[in-house]
Structure 1
Amino acid sequence: MFPILLMIHFVLLISRQGKVRLTKWYSPYSQKERTKVIRELSGVILTRGPKLCNFVEWRGLKVVYKRYASLYFCMCIDADDNELEILEIIHHFVEILDRYFGSVCELDLIFNFHKAFYILDETLIAGELQESSKKTVARLIAAQDLLVENAKEQASSITNMIAQATK
C-alpha cells in the first residue's frame, strides 16, 4: 500500500496588515486568479477571530493557516486532505526559518526573501513534503550559503584582476 501524499496547491505568507510576504504556487493559476485568491483569502483569514479553528473551507478546497507573531502562514489543500498534517508542515517550515534567521520576523522575509524561498523549496517540492529533517535542510542551506560566498569572492577577485589590468 502506498502512502497518501498531500497536495499543497499554494503557500501564502500574509502580514496582519494584509501585505503578501511570500507566495508559492504549485497549481496553475493565472496572474489575475492569483491576485483574486490573495485578496479573497486575506479578507477571510485576517477577519477571523483568534479562538476560531485554523481551517477554512474555500472554493471546494481547504485552507489551513497558523499565525506566528505578525505573519499568517497559509497552505491550500484538497478538501479531503489531513489538516493536522499541514499544520505540522507549517510549523516545520517556521522552525527551519527560526533556526536560520534566529527567531524569524517579518523583516527577515522582506529583506531575505530569496532565502525564505530556498528554505521553502528545500522543504516542499511540487506541493509535497520533500524533507522532514530540519538538520538536513540546515545543512543544505549552509552549503548553499558557502557556494554563494565563494562565488562572491571569485567575482571580487576577478573584478580586482580586471581593475589591475586596466590601470
Structure 2
Amino acid sequence: MIKFFLMVNKQGQTRLSRYYEHIEINKRTILEADVIKTCLSRSKEQCSFIEYKDFKLIYRQYAALFIVVGINETENEMAVYEFIHNFVEVLDMYFSRVVSLIVKVIMFNLDKVHIILDEMVLNGCIVETNKARILAPLLILDKMAES
C-alpha cells in the first residue's frame, strides 16, 4: 500500500503531497524534510529504493523534479517505480512536453495534477494505469469549461 506521494524540486521544496494514511501535520513536515534530504543526497548511480524507518521509499528524478513514494513492505517496488513513470507519462500526454517544464506545469495546474493522481490511486492502492481512462474525466471537465 502507498503511504504517501511527494513531488519535490531540486531545492527541496514540496510541490505536491498526498497522504493515504493519517499523519499529524507537524509529523508530516518532519517526515517530508527527512525524506527529501535522504533522496536528494543520493547520487544518480545509487538505487532508487531506500529502506526508511518502517517503510520503503521509491523515487525517480525527472529534470528538476523528484517524485518520492512511500510504501509498506508488502508493496512491489518495481510496480511503484513503473507507476511513477506512468504518472509522468500521463502528465506529459495531458500537458504536452511536460518533462522539461514539469515544475512550472505542476505549480500552475495543481488541481489537474491532483485529479490525475486521484484517478490513478485510491486509498493508497494503484487502481488505474490506462492513460486514456485516467485522462477521460479531465478531458470531460475541459470540454465543459469550454462551453
User: TM-score category by the smaller chain?
Assistant: over 0.9
Secondary structure of the residue that 1:137 maps to in structure 2?
Answer: helix
Name stretches of at least 5 consecutive residues in structure 1 with no aligned partner.
1-6, 151-167
Counterpart residue type for residue 13 of structure 2: K
Which of 20, 31, 47 matches 1:37? 31
Give the match for residue 97 of structure 1: 91
User: Is 1:118–2:112 an aligned residue pair?
Assistant: no
Query: Which shifted more, 48-57 or 135-144?
Result: 135-144
Query: How many Å apart are 1:89 and its aligned residue?
Result: 0.7
TM-score by length of 1: 0.83
Structure with max Cα Rg: 1
The answer on 1:57 being equivalent to 2:57 is no
Alpha-carbon offset, residue 135 of structure 1:
1.0
Specify the code of the residue in structure 2 equivalent to 1:58: Y
Hey, what does 1:4 align to over in structure 2?
Answer: none
Number of matched pairs = 144
Distance in 1 of aligned mates of 2:144 and 2:6: 28
Are the equivalent residues in 1 in contact too, given 2:5–2:68 (CA < 8 A)? yes
Q: Tell me the secondary structure at the aligned position of residue 14 of structure 1.
A: strand
1:16-31 to structure 2, matched below 5 A, reads: 16-31=10-25
Whole-angstrom distance in 1 between the partners of 2:45 and 2:74? 23
Identity level (%): 33
2: CA distance, partners of 1:103 / 1:52: 27
Check whether the contact 2:2–2:75 (CA below 8 A) recurs between aligned residues: no
Q: Which residue of 1 aligns with 2:125?
A: 128
Q: Matched residues in 2 for 1:72 and 1:108: separation?
A: 14
1:54-87 CA-to-partner distances (Å, cap 9, x unmatched) read: 0111111001000011111111101242110000
- Residue 147 of structure 1: CA displacement? 2.8
Q: Tell me the CA shift for residue 142 of structure 1.
A: 0.2
Moved over 3 A (4+): none
CA distance in 2, matches of 1:18, 1:129: 26
**Could you list the per-position Cα deviations for residues 25-53 of structure 1 after superposition, in whole angstroms to 9, with x for gaps in the alignment?**
00110000110011001110000011000
SS of the residue corresponding to residue 10 of structure 1 reads: strand
Whole-Å separation in 2 of the counterparts to 1:12 and 1:47: 16
What TM-score, normalized by structure 2, do the two folds share? 0.94
